[in-house]
C-alpha cells in the first residue's frame, strides 16, 4: 500500500496543455515558456524605487510597491508566454500596413520548409462580423502566425489573454478560450499604432496562455458572522506593519 502511494506521488503528471512545433529550430530558440520567467522592466523600476523610498523614509511610513500586489503578481506569473521568433517591423499608414523582416530570413525559412505568411489581418472596416476597434487604433486586427500547435487535455480549457501588465504599449492580444487540439495557432492583436513604424524584436511576448479546470461554479451568499470575522482578521493582517498598505507606486 505504501509503495503504491509513493508511486502515485512520484508519477509525473500529464501536462494540462502541450505545445508542439514542427520546426525544431524555432522550438529550441523561441519556445513557449512559463510566464513567471518573463521579467518586466517596470517591475524592476518599481523595485529600485521601493528600495530608495524605504531607505529615505527610514521605516517610518507604510509603503507598498504595485509590483508586490498579490493580485497583480499572480496574474503576471500565471500560465505561459507565446513569443515572436524573428524580428518584425510593422509600418501603418492610411489604413494599410506593411511588414518587413530581416532580408536574409527568407532563404532560411525556405531551408526549413516554412512557407506561411508571418502576418495577415482582418479589416474591421469591411468585415461582416465586426469586433469593436477603438477609433484611435489601426482598424485591422493583425494575425500573427505561430509555429505551434497545442492540445488542451480533457477537463481543462485554455485562456488566451493579453500579456498581463506588459511593458509593450503598441498592441494588445485579443482574448479567447479553447479546448482540445488546436492546430494553426494564431495570435490576434489589436494594433494601437494607427500611423507609424514599430520594430518588434524576436522574443517579444505576444500573449499569455493560462490553463483552467472546467466544471467550476461560483455562488453568492450573505456574509455570516464567521466570514465577517475572517474578513476583519485579513484586513488587520494587511495593515498592521510598515511593509503593508500605505503609499502605492
Report the pLDDT value the prediction gives residue 247, as an integer from 0 to 100.
Answer: 42
Query: Domain limits at 167?
Result: 17-213
Q: What is the pLDDT of residue 57?
A: 63
Whether 223 is in a domain gets the answer no
State the DSSP string of the chain: -HHHHHHHHHSPPPPSEEEEES-HHHHHHS--EEGGG---HHHHHHHHHHHHHHHHHTT-S-EE-GGG-HHHHHHHTSSEEEE-SS-EEEEEETTEEEEE--TTHHHHHHHTT--S-SEEEEETTT-SSPPP--TTS-SEEEEEEPSEEEEEPTTEEEEEEPPTT-S--SEEEPPEEE-EEE-S-EEEEEE--SSEEEEE-TT-EEEEEEEEESS------PPPHHHHHHHHHHHHHHHSSTTSSSEE-
Residue 203 maps to a domain: yes
Q: What is the pLDDT of residue 157?
A: 93
Q: Is there a domain that residue 61 lies in?
A: yes
pLDDT, residue 249, reads 41
Sequential DSSP letters for 194-239 = SSEEEEE-TT-EEEEEEEEESS------PPPHHHHHHHHHHHHHHH
pLDDT at 67: 61
* pLDDT at position 246: 44
Residue 85 lies in a domain: yes
Residue 109 confidence (pLDDT): 78
The answer to the question of residue 5 being in a domain is no
In a domain, 222, yes or no: no
- The enclosing domain of 149 has a CATH number of 2.70.40.10
Q: Indicate the number of domains in the chain.
A: 1
Residue 4 lies in a domain: no
CA-CA distance, 11 to 5, in Å (whole number)? 10
* 120 belongs to a structural domain: yes
Residues of the chain with pLDDT under 50: 1, 3, 5-7, 9-10, 246-249
Q: In the prediction, which pLDDT does 4 show?
A: 55
So what's the pLDDT on residue 191? 95
CA distance 247 to 85: 40
- Residue 68 is predicted with a pLDDT of 66
Which pLDDT value is given to residue 48?
A: 76
Summarised one tens digit per residue, pLDDT across range 74-95 is: 999 999 999 999 999 999 999 8
Amino acid at each position: 500500500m505504501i509503495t503504491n502511494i509513493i508511486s502515485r506521488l512520484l508519477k509525473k503528471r500529464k501536462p494540462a496543455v502541450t505545445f508542439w512545433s514542427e520546426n525544431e529550430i524555432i522550438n529550441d530558440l523561441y519556445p513557449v515558456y512559463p510566464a513567471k520567467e518573463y521579467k518586466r522592466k517596470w517591475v524592476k523600476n518599481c523595485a529600485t524605487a521601493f528600495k530608495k523610498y524605504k531607505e529615505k523614509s527610514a521605516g517610518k511610513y507604510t509603503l507598498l510597491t504595485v509590483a508586490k500586489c498579490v493580485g497583480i503578481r499572480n496574474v503576471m506569473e500565471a500560465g505561459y508566454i507565446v513569443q515572436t521568433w524573428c524580428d518584425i517591423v510593422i509600418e501603418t499608414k492610411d489604413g494599410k500596413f506593411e511588414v518587413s523582416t530581416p532580408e536574409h530570413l527568407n532563404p532560411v525559412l525556405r531551408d526549413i520548409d516554412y512557407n506561411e505568411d508571418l502576418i495577415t489581418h482582418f479589416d474591421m472596416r469591411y468585415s461582416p462580423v465586426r469586433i469593436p476597434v477603438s477609433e484611435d487604433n489601426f482598424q485591422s486586427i493583425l494575425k500573427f502566425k505561430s509555429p505551434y500547435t497545442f492540445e488542451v487535455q480533457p477537463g481543462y480549457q485554455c485562456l488566451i489573454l493579453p500579456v498581463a501588465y506588459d511593458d509593450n504599449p503598441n498592441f494588445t492580444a485579443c482574448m479567447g478560450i479553447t479546448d482540445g487540439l488546436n492546430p494553426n495557432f494564431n495570435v490576434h492583436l489589436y494594433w494601437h499604432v494607427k500611423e507609424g513604424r514599430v520594430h518588434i524584436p524576436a522574443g517579444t511576448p505576444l500573449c499569455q496562455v493560462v490553463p483552467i479546470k472546467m466544471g467550476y461554479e461560483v455562488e453568492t451568499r450573505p456574509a455570516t458572522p464567521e466570514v465577517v470575522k475572517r474578513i476583519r482578521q485579513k484586513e488587520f493582517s494587511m495593515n498592521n506593519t510598515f511593509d503593508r498598505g500605505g503609499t502605492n507606486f
